[in-house]
Amino acid sequence: MISARFVFLAIVLFIPATRLDAQNLRKSHEDCLKLVPGDWGPNFGEVWRQHEAVYWGCRLGVPVDSIKQWQQFSSGMIQDLVQVKIDKEQIVLIESMEGSAHCFSISALRKTAKGWEEIWSPPSGADSMDYCTLACPAIRIKAYGKNLTLELPETSDPKEDQTFSCKQVKWKKEKYLWDGQTYKPAVASHTKAMQSKP
């Protein structure tokens, strides 16, 4: 059983330039922990998810019901939620972590007339360890307007076994660009634009 206070000490929210409303209602990690017990109960059970929803609702200044809708797209423990407004689109980026290898899944959700739908996740093979950070910190999400960057940690010491230690961290960046419907690799978009020039 994982202590909620231990889990969320490692969580850092990156506030993008463009957010949805209720920004002034946000509260600190410490303030929001006061709303939930130290022990959330069995991992990922109904009571556990309720406490998770209360915590993140407090952090983001949004209704708990909104968090519960986003939780449906989370396969593990929510590590970050980033709200972005692009033109008239309401986008939520959700990062979840599961397993002893600390494997992360990241999805983009879009608000539609029927509710929220998943429209994007970074490309990865079924058994890929690309988004498993092991002993390194969590993947960082940064979203500014139409630009999305995932910062993936890895040890910079070739002698260090990342399974057990990650004292010296370097960050590899994956950049994506919103094309009006979903996120596409920024490099590919740039290359396509360059190739289309006469």
| Spatial contact of 176 and 119, defined as CB atoms under 8 Å apart | no
Q: What angle do CA 16, 44, 32 make, to 5 degrees?
A: 45
**147 vs 55: CA distance, rounded Å:** 27
Mean pLDDT confidence for 9-38: 65
Question: Binning pLDDT at 50, 70 and 90, where does residue 7 land?
Answer: very low
| Spatial contact of 167 and 156, defined as CB atoms under 8 Å apart | no
- Residue-averaged pLDDT of the chain: 84
Question: Binning pLDDT at 50, 70 and 90, where does residue 127 land?
Answer: low
3-class secondary-structure state, position 14: coil
Overall pTM surpassing 0.85 (yes/no):
no
Tokens 């231990």 -> residue:
6
User: What integer pLDDT is reported at residue 126 of this predicted model?
Assistant: 62
What is the domain count for the chain? 1
In this predicted structure, the answer to whether residue 116 has a pLDDT above a threshold of 90 is yes
Give every CB contact of residue 9 below 8 A, 6+ residues apart in sequence: 29
Give the structural domain span for 43.
Answer: 4-195
- Please report, in angstroms and rounded to a whole number, the separation of the first and last CA atoms in the chain: 60
**Higher local confidence (pLDDT), 121 or 192:** 121
In this predicted structure, the answer to whether residue 97 has a pLDDT above a threshold of 60 is yes
